[in-house]
């Protein structure tokens, strides 16, 4: 896979310049802001962030010691009704009974409108604040702002407090609407060292300084006066500890909205933002404590967690079952399938991600339910017990973003890998439709990191290399009135088969067929059947008959038909002049069509599309279109469209765009039939 200069823009860039922060006070909304009808630099914007400022402060109090306090103030302008969603704000927080617990409070939440030339303020009432439980680990505090209209200006502030200093929140300078001004300031005592990483195309201006700070620690001492049994006296004292605080300010202005493009993995991968992770703690008269500094140390640290590595050593709970299952099974491939199917059929995924076990593998096996870590660490342990070289692989899911920088929170998932003479076989038992080397789509996110028992690790390419095929055999006849009647047989493999099975199994057959009919130019489907929908090691095959009254045009006694009917690509998904983000197809694929067309009696071919072949450089992809007249008044067509890389770099975008343009133009050409 080629990542040509793919993330060269992600290197950390610090520009130390003198930058003056804008004056901003909540509640001081101007008439000019309320009168503004559209964004001055993006007239299509439904809303814009006029101002957003965040501070992350590590402060001290005697009760809790050092705590991390994050405060955010924001002002948002609503231009159109489509921007009303910005009146709903939420903050997700950890809600577990340990040092990771966070407390969130909203304040100064107001909506401003211009009424008869005067600024009218509407305050948020208590019924506009909600708390919801996202899962067992996280909660979410939400607000819904009142009296929102086109032209409104919204303001809000919130504070997040936690004793976990390492939980510095990411700061996004960009979002899906324009941002006029974004400022983020950190205040960090000299005792804490953070790795700071920026990503995106736009880098903020950075200023850095030092502040003298002090901690005052109060203490009291009680002692006797006048000997044993006499009166006591209590004396109070105060100790002062001086330290330096690093103050760093990041400012970005006039940031454009992040525009969605076709086949983008996760837009957050390319958003201008800031990540910080605690890398070192060095208190006076205490040993220095270091955290993750590179991917190897990240992997080793995670492996040594009590809820990860030690779980792989537990085997007693499955040994008897495995002994029975593997009786007479000898080859590695057979062992892998037996063990994978055993875990998939006996332990149901509870929909929780993560690489840490919650209840533990033993209890998950007994209760027949567990999170991703419990299922796939259990799978890894069984594979090892069966004599295979198996190891866990840390993964960041597509929704979590690409793991660009070494840190313990970069990963949120774990799968299993078996080392064989032919390479690694990747496995995920949390998905019932997954098979060896066909992982759930959520995990196809560049690279994972395999960890061995000795703590060493290596990077593993998660992206598929083998094309997933979608092969269609179709024959149809056209009558003199342009009505089409035909039969279709469609066979899908690997990822195309997984997607098709998911679509079939997620709905009733009547609903599935109705959707299929609507997607395919309102055809009528009959005699539908499917093969191997549950035998996931085999290609899935669908067959059906169809009729369609709107698949041809009859004009002036001639019949015009697009020969691929409803299988033709009609719209180029790549229509931007330039592409800012790589194209992510998810997996390589081959779409192939073998079509036979029966011409109506009394008609002959007047116009036929010319055969063509389009080849991209570097074997990126090929489109072939071939059509010919055969015996018995029929036409034979063979079309293939193959993309050989899951990810296409921005440097290859122009070539890809031209390829799709040529393919769609050819597939749109019509056969013209005339009366004899």
pLDDT digits (tens, 9 = 90+) for 651-673: 999 999 999 999 999 999 999 99
pLDDT over 50 (residue 18): no
- The reported pLDDT for the residue numbered 196 is 92
pLDDT for the residue numbered 20: 54
The three state secondary structure string of 488-517 is EEEEECHHHHHHHHHHHHCCCHHHHHHHHH
d(CA 126, CA 103): 18
**Given this model, what pLDDT does residue 455 score?**
86
Judge whether residue 415 has pLDDT over 80.
yes
CB 335 within 8 A of CB 388: yes
- Under the banding of pLDDT at 50, 70 and 90, the label for residue 220 is low
Domains and CATH numbers, the chain: 26-214+242-289 (2.60.40.3140), 295-461 (3.10.620.30), 468-675 (2.60.120.1130)
CB of 251 closer than 8 Å to CB of 19 = yes
Distance between CA 646 and CA 587 in Å, rounded? 4
**What per-residue confidence (pLDDT) applies to 487?**
98
> How many Cβ atoms sit within 10 Å of the Cβ of residue 454?
8
Q: Give the pLDDT band of residue 306 (cuts 50, 70, 90).
A: very high
Tally the residues of the chain.
676
- What average pLDDT does this structure show over 498-521? 96
Per-residue model confidence (pLDDT) at position 478 = 97
Q: What average pLDDT does this structure show over 345-362?
A: 96
pLDDT single digits (tens) 173-208: 999 999 999 999 999 999 999 989 998 989 999 999
Decide: residue 353, CB within 10 A, 0-12 exposed, 13-18 middle, 19+ buried. Answer: buried
Q: How far apart are CA 392 and CA 415, in angstroms?
A: 6
Judged against a pLDDT cut of 90, whether residue 395 lies above it is answered with yes
Gap between the Cα atoms of 308 and 349, Å rounded = 17
C-alpha distances (whole Å) from 264 to each of 269, 291, 584, 655, 656 are 9, 32, 6, 17, 15
Q: Is 674 exposed, middle or buried (0-12, 13-18, 19+ CB in 10 A)?
A: middle
**Cβ of 242: how many Cβ atoms within 10 Å?**
8
**Please, what is the angle between helix 332-346 and helix 372-385, to 10°?**
150
Q: What is the pLDDT of residue 651?
A: 96
- Using a pLDDT cut of 90, give the percent of the chain over it: 82
| pLDDT tops 90 at residue 16 | no
The answer to whether the Cα torsion of 496, 499, 502, 504 is positive or negative is negative
Once rounded to an integer, what is the mean pLDDT over residues 289-296? Answer: 82
Instruction: Round to whole Å and give the CA distance between 205 and 187.
Output: 17
What single-letter DSSP state applies at residue 34? H
How far apart CA 162 and CA 98 sit, in angstroms, is: 10
> Could you tell me how far CA 306 lies from the centroid of its own chain?
28
> Cα(490)–Cα(126) distance, rounded to whole angstroms?
56
Tokens of 431: 């998905």
Mean pLDDT of the chain: 92
């Amino acid at each position: 896979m080629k990542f040509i200069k793919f993330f060269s823009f992600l290197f950390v860039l610090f520009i130390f310049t003198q930058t003056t922060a804008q004056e901003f006070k909540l509640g001081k909304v101007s008439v000019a802001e309320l009168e503004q009808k559209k964004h001055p630099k993006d007239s299509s914007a439904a809303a814009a962030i006029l101002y957003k400022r965040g501070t992350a402060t590590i402060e001290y109090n005697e009760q809790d010691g050092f705590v991390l306090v994050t405060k955010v103030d924001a002002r948002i302008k609503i231009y159109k009704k489509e921007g009303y969603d910005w009146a709903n704000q939420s903050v997700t927080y950890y809600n577990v009974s340990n040092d990771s617990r966070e407390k969130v409070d909203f304040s100064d939440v107001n909506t401003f409108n211009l009424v008869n030339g005067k600024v009218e303020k509407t305050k948020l009432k208590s019924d506009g604040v909600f708390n919801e439980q996202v899962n067992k680990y996280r909660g979410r505090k939400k607000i819904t702002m009142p009296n929102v209209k086109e032209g409104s200006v919204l303001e809000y502030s919130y504070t997040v407090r936690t004793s976990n200093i390492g939980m510095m929140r990411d700061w996004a300078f960009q979002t899906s609407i324009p941002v006029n001004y974004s400022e983020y300031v950190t205040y960090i005592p000299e005792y804490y060292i953070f790795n700071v990483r920026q990503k995106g195309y736009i880098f903020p201006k950075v200023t850095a300084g030092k502040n003298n700070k002090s901690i005052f620690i109060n203490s009291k001492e009680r002692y006797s006066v006048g000997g044993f049994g006499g009166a006591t006296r209590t004396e109070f004292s105060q100790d002062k500890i001086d330290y330096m605080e690093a103050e760093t300010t990041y400012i970005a202005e006039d940031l454009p909205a992040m525009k969605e493009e076709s086949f983008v993995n996760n837009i957050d991968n390319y958003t201008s933002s800031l990540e910080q992770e605690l890398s070192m703690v060095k208190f006076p008269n205490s040993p220095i404590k270091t955290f993750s500094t590179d991917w190897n140390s990240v992997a080793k640290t995670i492996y040594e967690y009590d809820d990860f590595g030690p779980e792989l050593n537990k085997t007693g709970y499955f040994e008897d079952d495995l002994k029975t299952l593997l009786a007479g099974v000898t080859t590695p491939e057979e062992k892998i399938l037996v063990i994978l199917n055993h875990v998939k059929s006996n332990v149901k995924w509870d929909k929780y991600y993560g690489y840490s076990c919650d209840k533990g593998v033993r209890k998950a096996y007994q209760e027949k339910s567990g999170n991703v870590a419990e299922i796939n660490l259990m799978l890894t342990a069984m594979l090892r017990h069966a004599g295979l070289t198996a190891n866990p692989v840390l993964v960041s899911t597509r929704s979590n973003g690409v793991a660009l920088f070494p840190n313990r929170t970069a990963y949120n998932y774990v799968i299993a890998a078996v080392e064989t003479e032919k390479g690694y076989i990747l496995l995920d038992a949390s998905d019932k439709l997954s098979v060896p080397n066909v992982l759930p789509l959520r995990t196809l996110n560049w690279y994972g990191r395999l960890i061995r028992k000795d703590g060493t690790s290596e990077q593993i390419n998660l992206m598929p290399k083998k094309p997933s095929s979608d092969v269609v055999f179709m024959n149809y006849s056209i009558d003199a009135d342009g009505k089409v009647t035909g039969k279709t047989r469609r066979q899908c493999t690997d990822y195309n088969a997984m997607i098709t099975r998911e679509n079939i199994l997620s709905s009733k057959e009547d609903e599935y067929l109705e959707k299929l009919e609507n997607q395919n130019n309102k055809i009528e489907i009959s005699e539908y059947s499917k093969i191997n929908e549950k035998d996931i090691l085999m290609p899935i095959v669908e067959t059906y008959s169809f009729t369609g009254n709107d698949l041809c045009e009859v004009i002036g006694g001639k019949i015009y038909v697009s020969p691929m009917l409803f299988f033709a690509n009609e719209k180029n998904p790549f229509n931007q002049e330039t592409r800012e983000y790589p194209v992510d197809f998810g997996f390589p694929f081959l779409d192939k069509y073998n079509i036979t067309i029966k011409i109506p009696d009394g008609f002959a071919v007047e116009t036929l599309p010319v055969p063509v072949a389009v080849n991209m450089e570097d074997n990126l992809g090929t489109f072939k279109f071939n059509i010919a007249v055969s015996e018995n008044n029929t036409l034979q067509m063979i079309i293939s469209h193959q993309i050989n890389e899951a990810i296409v770099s921005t440097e290859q975008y122009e070539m890809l765009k031209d390829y799709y343009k040529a393919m769609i133009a050819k597939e749109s050409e019509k056969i013209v039939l005339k009366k004899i």
